[in-house]
Structure 1
Amino acid sequence: MLSIRFSGADLGRLRLAAEPDVMWETALSLHQLVRPDPFFGPWSRLARRALARAGLGRDVRMLTELVPPSSYFPDFLTPPGHTTCLETGIDTALSTGKERLRVEIGRLAPVAGTGPGRPVRFEGIAGGRPAALRHLGGALRRYHAVTLAPYAPAAAALARGDAARHARQVLQRGSEALLCGLGPQLRWRPPVLEVDYPVVRRLDLAGRGLLLVPSFFCHNHPIALADPELTPVLVFPVVRGPLWIPREAATPAGAELDVLIGPTRAAALRLLDTGHSTSELAARLCTSDSSASRHAAALRGAGLVVTERLGTSVRHTRTALGTSLVHGGG
């Protein structure tokens, strides 16, 4: 049981995110990849095949050991707050201080099976070594591109719909009605929210409020950050519909494109079915203008994008070759 104690101020500081957090979805999907609930069985089979085709076995082994389907995985992989942009989330995670990395990886070691006398598999990450962190960031991008990106629109739509339903409850009946209606795994017994949990924990909000984040891949019970000193977050499962895997996802050309040219560059290519300025492209990619310009230049060099100058700005648009690549043709 997880007991979350509210003060009067905390009820006024209760917040509800409108959609899932990309880092939590990435982490929790790894649990369903390893030990899928029947609902996630079809997705797990498709994801495993796609990962094998992409040659990402080493990435998957590292990530599933770093995020085991157990009661603990490092908090730095799911930064406090709410992140919908993968690049922002990865950058935040990899900017974690060395001391915190060491402590959190140290807590993971017994779970990962690295006991005394055996090499610590994640010593590079624990030490904040740039090469190890870059490899982790790359593995997260590649995994997300293959297993989550093809299904993200459908999963996010279901989560947004569930969050909107909860938001209406708040407007009509207040924040306590929200706490009463999050699902059978939670019980509001003022001033404590009781959450079914694999371990016994207590979290005193102490005026900090609580951010509730809907999640498609969260299963069995809600989940909170392990460190009670971090900004309080509670991730809860949404009501899921049965028709969330698109038929074309069985042969995910989109996932293969992400692996081929990188997820950010692939996202840019998909967006450029209509013209975008560099700043518009940057905003939609959640990146800087200079980074968006570099991606556009690389795509232009490959003949996938054309760039036209309009006064003081430029406009990037996908070519026929780029469109064929996006849709898996030719």
Structure 2
Amino acid sequence: MLRLHFTAGDLPRTRVADGPDPLWECVLSLHRLREERPESNLSGWREHVLRHSKAPLPLLLPLVPARGYFPDFLTPAESAEGFEAGLDALLSTRRSRIRDQMGRLATSRPLTPWARDVSEGGAATLRRLGAALRAYEHTAIGTWWPRLRTQVDSDRTWRARTQCTHGTEGMLKTFGPVLRWRPPVLEADYPVDKEVRLRGRGLLLIPSYFCHRTPVALADSSLPPTLVYPARIPEPLSTSLTAPGHARQETLARLLGHTRAAVLESLGSSCTTSELARRAGVSLSSASEHASVLRAAGLISSSRQRNCVRHALTPMGLALLDAPPAGRPRSVTA
């Protein structure tokens, strides 16, 4: 059983995150990838990921067991700002913290030679881990991010509206039966007994597409209290995560040109111009040029953050990517 103990000061500091967190989705999707009988809406996703992630999976799976503890440094808070921000924070984790958390992982199962290398926190090993995470995110998350986010956003909007009209306690009551609000304690079924005392820090609730059945909390009680929970997705929005079809890709290519269509397809999650160039396999100048055309057409938006420009799909761009090929209805799970 998981029990989160609130004080009066925690309620005003409790909130729902703005949307899904890309590194949490990466880690939790590794759990779903291992399921012997995946849900029907994940079957196409699972087949695609297993086919295209043969290189990163042997490096990531030993760090994220099917059950039980996995290191907190894999899901830093900075990931809320985007995958690359989270990855930068992950790769900057202190060696002592990596060693401690990997040591805890070793108490539940023997570490593979690769996992033992990770526990040392060497620069070359972390670069290799970063490359594996980036490749996996692009294949397993980035391709589906617009649809995934749209589905999760429906949950987030509902919780936030409830909090505005009925207060935080009213919002906490909406999580049943996964979470049970019994003032001043929020309870959930959990693999181990765990008591978390918020002590005025509040709680960040992160909705997740890949979180399944039970919520997940950070193991380190000194970190900002965080709880990832399975997003409640209404049936009309519960579309299957299937790989982009060849017919749709050809339609986009005829409309936009092959390179520009590839650039648009690469914008699964928001990214910088450099990241966009790498994903689409084009030069930096070419990515910038195509981004300008797509922005002028209203298909993407761009904003400057510090020393870089980040691009994201607009609702029109998302609708274009998510549209079925001509003559075929959109598939929705019953």
Q: In which range does the TM-score fall when normalised by the shorter chain?
A: 0.7 to 0.9
Q: CA 1:271–1:237 in 2, change beyond 3 Å: closer, same or farther? A: farther
Gaps of 5+ in 1: 52-56, 294-330
Aligned partners of 2:45 and 2:239: how far apart in 1? 11
Aligned partners of 1:287 and 1:217: how far apart in 2? 31
Aligned partners of 1:7 and 1:20: how far apart in 2? 27
Aligned partners of 1:123 and 1:9: how far apart in 2? 41
Kept in 2, the 8 Å contact 1:68–1:111? The answer is no
Report the alpha carbon displacement of residue 212 of structure 1 after superposing the two structures with TM: 0.7
1:95 aligns with 2:97: no
1:185 aligns with 2:178: yes
Report the alpha carbon displacement of residue 247 of structure 1 after superposing the two structures with TM: 6.2
Q: CA 1:257–1:165 in 2, change beyond 3 Å: closer, same or farther? A: closer
Gaps of 5+ in 2: 250-261, 268-272, 311-334
Choose which of 63, 76, 89 in structure 2 pairs with 1:79: 76
Q: Deviations over 1:127-147 (max 9, x none)?
A: 221100000110000001111
Q: Indicate the SS of the match to 1:102.
A: helix
Kept in 2, the 8 Å contact 1:83–1:89? The answer is yes
Kept in 2, the 8 Å contact 1:74–1:105? The answer is yes
Report the alpha carbon displacement of residue 288 of structure 1 after superposing the two structures with TM: 3.1
Q: CA 1:178–1:82 in 2, change beyond 3 Å: closer, same or farther? A: farther
State the match for 2:13 in structure 1: 13
Report the alpha carbon displacement of residue 41 of structure 1 after superposing the two structures with TM: 2.7
Q: CA 1:97–1:156 in 2, change beyond 3 Å: closer, same or farther? A: same
In the alignment of these two chains, the number of paired residues is 276
Report the alpha carbon displacement of residue 48 of structure 1 after superposing the two structures with TM: 1.2
State the match for 1:227 in structure 2: 220
Kept in 1, the 8 Å contact 2:78–2:85? The answer is no
1:107 aligns with 2:126: no
State the match for 1:309 in structure 2: none
Report the alpha carbon displacement of residue 244 of structure 1 after superposing the two structures with TM: 3.8
Aligned partners of 1:90 and 1:46: how far apart in 2? 23
State the match for 1:273 in structure 2: 293
Q: Indicate the SS of the match to 1:121.
A: helix
Letter in 2 for 1:271: A
Kept in 1, the 8 Å contact 2:77–2:86? The answer is no
Report the alpha carbon displacement of residue 61 of structure 1 after superposing the two structures with TM: 1.2
Kept in 1, the 8 Å contact 2:151–2:238? The answer is no
Report the alpha carbon displacement of residue 184 of structure 1 after superposing the two structures with TM: 1.1
Aligned partners of 1:181 and 1:187: how far apart in 2? 9
Task: Give the alignment's Cα RMSD to 1 decimal.
Answer: 3.0
Return the TM-score normalized by structure 2.
Answer: 0.74
Kept in 2, the 8 Å contact 1:94–1:133? The answer is yes
Return the TM-score normalized by structure 1.
Answer: 0.75
Aligned partners of 1:173 and 1:179: how far apart in 2? 10
1:35-74 equivalences under 5 Å are 35=35, 37-38=38-39, 39-51=41-53, 57-74=54-71
State the match for 2:307 in structure 1: 288
Kept in 1, the 8 Å contact 2:118–2:126? The answer is yes
Q: Indicate the SS of the match to 1:8.
A: coil
Kept in 2, the 8 Å contact 1:4–1:193? The answer is yes
Aligned partners of 1:252 and 1:139: how far apart in 2? 28
Kept in 2, the 8 Å contact 1:80–1:230? The answer is no
Q: Deviations over 1:64-92 (max 9, x none)?
A: 11112211110001013651411100000
State the match for 1:236 in structure 2: 229
Aligned partners of 1:29 and 1:179: how far apart in 2? 25
Q: Deviations over 1:34-72 (max 9, x none)?
A: 226414233211221232xxxxx2420110111122111
Kept in 2, the 8 Å contact 1:216–1:238? The answer is yes
Q: Indicate the SS of the match to 1:140.
A: helix
1:106-145 equivalences under 5 Å are 106-114=103-111, 120-145=113-138
Sequence identity of aligned pairs in percent?
Answer: 36
Letter in 2 for 1:245: L
Kept in 1, the 8 Å contact 2:26–2:140? The answer is no
1:196 aligns with 2:198: no
Q: CA 1:108–1:25 in 2, change beyond 3 Å: closer, same or farther? A: same
Kept in 2, the 8 Å contact 1:22–1:84? The answer is no
Q: CA 1:156–1:107 in 2, change beyond 3 Å: closer, same or farther? A: same
